[in-house]
Amino acid sequence: MTELLEAENEAAALEFLHAERCTDGLPVIIPTVPRVDRMVLASGVDGDLSLGSMGPGGGAATIRAIAVNTVMAGCRPDDMPIVVAAITAMLQPEFDLGEMQGTTHSTAPLMIVNGPMRDACGVASGFGALGPGHRANASIGRAVRLCMINIGMARPGESDMALLGHGGKFTYCLAEDEESSPWEPLHTTFGYDAEESVVTIIGAEPPHSVVFQNDADDATSPARLLKSLGATLANLGSNNAHFRCGMQTVILNPEHATVLADAGMSRADVQAKLLEYSVNPHDRLAELNPIFVRPDDDGDIRAVRQAEDVVVLVAGGSGLYSHVLPSWAAGMHRNVAVHARIETDLACEIPGLTPNPLSSLSASGQGPSE
Amino acid sequence: MALRGKPTVALVTTQFWEQGNFVAEARGMPTLPRHQLPHPVAGTGHGSMAELAREIAPQLIATLRQESTPIAA
């Protein structure tokens, strides 16, 4: 992965990287030695440090290898700690990354950034946060995907067996809108302090839109919203409905989150109600996929095993739509969310060599340069 | 199982043959015996699957009898 390649010029290097299937199909920044060195420096740790082997190919996820892909994705050095944290999280055995990369299901790791690094790197959490137009979201998520391609060796039809895939397999990164959320930041529910920066990763399908119009004169409004979300969590085409497991993601827009909070609900209350409402009649499941029916099945079948398996966060613009992101629900651990602290205090300035890359966290937005 | 020294043969359909080769190589078992099946097998009906099983069973048994050496990881 970190073998030094030579090319006549950057255009030739780009064509070589495309030909070797080292890209996601889009042009990349050429990972020259100075660019990669600067990215390694931004991590604050030794380039030879390996975070582990990445499946399915088993490549060593060294800091330098991660830096190569982070440069290729168009990230700024400031973004490097987020990418490192994401890879650290994904390499936890509970994430089943190797198996996830090889599945025929259309799952992709969704990255959720919390804490001060959201603002420092400009990770968007509002309108279109999972769409185009946000540099940090686009490039950080892309860096993770390029690592999965070049370190994990996931290649379509060969080792990444997704039958169709989805746009989130290019990049799938957003921040939680902590300022608009009526609840504590997501990462504090995993035991982190609010002042820490954390990336949470969960395998996810594309977002499924859930339409809901609030009516302040209708006392049943909060329940209607929760039932709409529950029905989508239990959608009859999903793995979750038939396998009855797998953590799923609910992204509430600020308006919808406020409807629930104004009804006196905490995040935990919302999770408990979503568990209650994400059910399907046994007969309906048996009608559609009898092979997954169990002999002792009866009554209503939950698509969620426990309330904590619904990851609830606030993001996006306010309006009619919130989103549910169903999941693969397979692998040994059945689609577990993982998380890691974003280490921002490891880099140090080397007098006379280079400025501390992390000293300009809200800097210019210029791309990698030599 | 192969890593534990158990005689093993992997059944891989045509659609996943390349992936099977990749995984075997990545796991350090490039010589792991693999038997190619048509695709799909799942969902083709009990009769069809039973016929396929009868057809390949002798080959699988022969492979298992020949391959009893543990494959180094």
B19 touches chain A (CB under 8 A): yes
Nearest CB to B16 within list A57, A153, A161: A161
**Mean pLDDT value across chain A:** 93
Q: Which two tokens stand for residue A30?
A: 């050429």
Predicted complex: ipTM over 0.90: no
Mutant choice from A99, A101, A155, A159 vs B, greatest count of B C-beta within 10 A: A159
Interface of chain A toward chain B, CB-CB under 8 angstroms = 55-58, 102, 153, 157-159, 161
Which residues of chain A are within 8 Å of residue B49 when distances are taken between CB atoms? none
Residue in A304, A283, A317 with CA at minimum distance from that of residue A230: A304
Instruction: List the single residue in B with minimal CA-CA distance to A155.
Output: B19
Backbone conformation region of residue A157, classed left if phi is above 0, alpha if psi is from -120 to 50, else beta: left
Say what the alpha-carbon torsion angle A298, A307, A232, A285 is, to the nearest 10 degrees: -20
B72 touches chain A (CB under 8 A): no
B26 touches chain A (CB under 8 A): yes
Instruction: Tell me the whole-structure pTM to 2 decimals.
Output: 0.91
Which residues of chain A are within 8 Å of residue B22 when distances are taken between CB atoms? 56-57, 153, 158-159
Determine whether A246 is exposed, middle or buried from the number of CB atoms within 10 Å of its CB (0-12, 13-18, 19+): buried
Let me know: does A276 contact A234? Beta carbons within 8 Å. no
Q: Which two tokens stand for residue A291?
A: 């092979």
Q: Give the phi and the psi of residue A56 in degrees, each rounded to 5.
A: -85, -10
Residues pairing with A112 in the sheet: A174, A200
Percentage of chain A modeled with pLDDT above 90:
90
Which residues of chain B are within 8 Å of residue A158 when distances are taken between CB atoms? 18-19, 22
Which residues of chain A are within 8 Å of residue B26 when distances are taken between CB atoms? 55-58, 153, 159
pLDDT digits over A211-220, tens only? 999 999 999 9
- Count other C-beta atoms under 10 Å from residue A148's C-beta: 27
3-state secondary structure of A56: coil
Let me know: does A162 contact A52? Beta carbons within 8 Å. no
Let me know: does A321 contact A210? Beta carbons within 8 Å. yes
Checking if the pLDDT of A358 tops 50, the result is no
Which residues of chain B are within 8 Å of residue A56 when distances are taken between CB atoms? 22-23, 26
Domain definitions of chain A by residue range: 9-205, 207-326
Mean pLDDT (whole number) for A133-149: 98
Determine whether A339 is exposed, middle or buried from the number of CB atoms within 10 Å of its CB (0-12, 13-18, 19+): buried
B10 touches chain A (CB under 8 A): no
Backbone conformation region of residue A46, classed left if phi is above 0, alpha if psi is from -120 to 50, else beta: beta
d(CA A107, CA A330): 10
d(CA A324, CA A241): 13
Nearest CB to A58 within list B16, B19, B26: B26
Residues pairing with A302 in the sheet: A279
User: Residue A345 has what pLDDT?
Assistant: 85
pLDDT digits over B43-62, tens only? 999 999 999 999 999 999 99
B17 touches chain A (CB under 8 A): no
Checking if the pLDDT of A336 tops 50, the result is yes
Closest Cα of chain B to A334: distance in Å?
A: 21
| Cβ–Cβ pairs < 8 A, chains A and B | 22
SS (H, E, C) A105-130: CCCEEEEEEECCHHHHHCCCCCCCCC
For residue A56, whether the previous peptide bond is cis, meaning omega lies within 30 degrees of 0, is yes
Mutant choice from A54, A97, A158 vs B, greatest count of B C-beta within 10 A: A158
